[in-house]
């Protein structure tokens, strides 16, 4: 059920080829390290076809998709879904548990959220044996907007690796980036965009493998809500998550925007491969906070415009996060962050 594949024309720089494709309402870009440009184009075309196939399964706006069928089924009736849809739903429920409900793919009226939370009722359940999903309230709508693109990005990477594309970078709408294989010296430079000035960047993170994803209410017209209260998320001005997979990074960036630095630290403590970066406002000053796995990065703004930067501790989920350095001089973190690191083209939200 895939749509027509866009014509992909490579832009070559040495052995690096660039391709683009429109799917899921945004522009996807692929940078593939492959000596044979024609072969790289064939691999990119196969990856684009996979994106179209996944959109047809995961979008709630396509009437015959798996997600649309779940939403249209009577309450309590299981709906059998495809392997990709089931895997994405299972991943979403896993992050839901890890974040104590801060990430939720079910939309519902505030009264239903509150009532079901109080009663301990799940809004959606999965059955692995029948590979089915079941809604448990009439007003519940399943929406993979906070994880679907990241999950699809992982599947795109799987296709490209099956085509023996051993290294590359791909992103979806400059919100989630996936990196695999050999990278430029120091890693791919990925920019963290200022949510209040999208043509500016707060910092550059150097990614050698895995995924980086960002989320900010101002970039989404305030649509990110705390699913536990049905009120707008207020944990931070912006949040970024780094994780081994794009699906996890996509979901956790949304959850971290809801949770804020202190509660997100508990998630990072449970999974040492997770990292979080926040833009928060403290006494009228904009501050970047980081917790979790170490990052290599540097600030981008001149001294007059850039935010302050702090390092958050992970002593325990109950303790206040400690700031381990006086960052009034923007000295960077204890590891990485040297100002003389190489720059380059940046991707990010």
Question: Is residue 220 domain-resident?
Answer: no
Residue 93 resides in a domain = yes
Tell me whether residue 96 is in a domain: yes
Point out which residues pair with 214 in neighbouring strands: 240
pLDDT digit string, tens, across residues 140-150: 999 999 999 99
Q: Could you tell me the pLDDT band of residue 282, with boundaries at 50, 70 and 90?
A: confident
Q: Domain limits at 87?
A: 66-142
Q: What is the pLDDT of residue 91?
A: 98
Residue 326 lies in a domain: no
The C-alpha atoms of residue 274 and residue 210 are separated, in whole angstroms, by 10
* Residue 124 is assigned to a structural domain of this protein: yes
* Structural domain count of the chain: 1
> Does residue 277 form part of some domain?
no
In a domain, 54, yes or no: no
pLDDT band (50, 70, 90) for residue 297 = low
Condensed to tens digits (0 to 9), the pLDDT of residues 109-149 reads 555 555 555 455 789 999 999 999 999 999 899 999 999 99
Contact 52, 3 (CB under 8 A): yes
Show the tokens assigned to 68: 């649309």
Does residue 71 belong to any structural domain of this protein? yes
DSSP 276-335: EEEEEEETTEEEEEEEES---EEE-S-TTTSPEEEEB--S-TTSPPPB-S--TT----SS
Sign of the C-alpha dihedral computed for residues 320, 321, 325 and 328 taken in this order = negative
What mean pLDDT comes out for the span 12-39? Answer: 88
Encoding tokens for residue 269? 């403590």
What are phi and psi for residue 335, nearest 5 degrees?
-130, 125
């Amino acid at each position: 059920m895939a749509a027509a594949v866009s014509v992909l024309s490579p832009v070559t720089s040495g052995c690096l080829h660039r391709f683009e494709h429109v799917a899921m309402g945004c522009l996807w870009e692929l940078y593939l390290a492959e000596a044979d440009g024609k072969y790289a184009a064939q691999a990119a075309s196969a990856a684009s076809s996979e994106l179209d196939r996944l959109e047809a399964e995961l979008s709630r706006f396509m009437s015959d998709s798996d997600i649309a069928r779940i939403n249209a089924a009577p309450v309590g009736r299981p709906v059998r879904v495809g392997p990709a849809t089931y895997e994405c739903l299972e991943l979403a429920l896993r992050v839901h548990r890890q974040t104590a409900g801060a990430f939720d793919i079910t939309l519902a009226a505030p009264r239903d959220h509150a009532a079901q939370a109080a009663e301990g009722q799940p809004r959606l359940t999965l059955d692995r044996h029948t590979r089915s999903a079941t809604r448990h309230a009439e007003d519940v709508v399943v929406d993979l907007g906070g994880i679907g693109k990241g999950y699809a990005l992982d599947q795109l990477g799987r296709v490209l690796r099956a085509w023996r594309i051993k290294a590359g970078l791909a992103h979806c709408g400059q919100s989630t980036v996936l990196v695999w294989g050999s990278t430029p010296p120091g890693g791919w430079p990925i920019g963290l965009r200022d949510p209040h000035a999208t043509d500016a960047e707060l910092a550059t993170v150097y990614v050698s493998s895995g995924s980086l994803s960002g989320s900010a209410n101002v970039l989404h017209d305030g649509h990110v809500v705390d699913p536990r209260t049905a009120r707008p998320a207020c944990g931070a001005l912006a949040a970024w998550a780094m994780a081994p997979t794009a699906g996890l990074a996509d979901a956790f960036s949304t959850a971290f925007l809801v949770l804020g630095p202190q509660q997100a630290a508990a998630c990072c403590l449970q999974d040492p491969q997770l990292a979080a970066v926040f833009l928060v406002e403290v006494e009228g000053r904009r501050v970047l906070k980081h917790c979790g796995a170490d990052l290599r990065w540097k600030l981008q703004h001149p001294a007059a415009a850039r935010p302050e930067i702090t390092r958050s501790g992970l002593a325990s989920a109950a303790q206040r996060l400690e700031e381990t350095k006086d960052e009034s001089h923007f000295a960077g973190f204890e590891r990485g962050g040297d100002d003389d690191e190489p720059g380059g083209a940046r991707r990010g939200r």
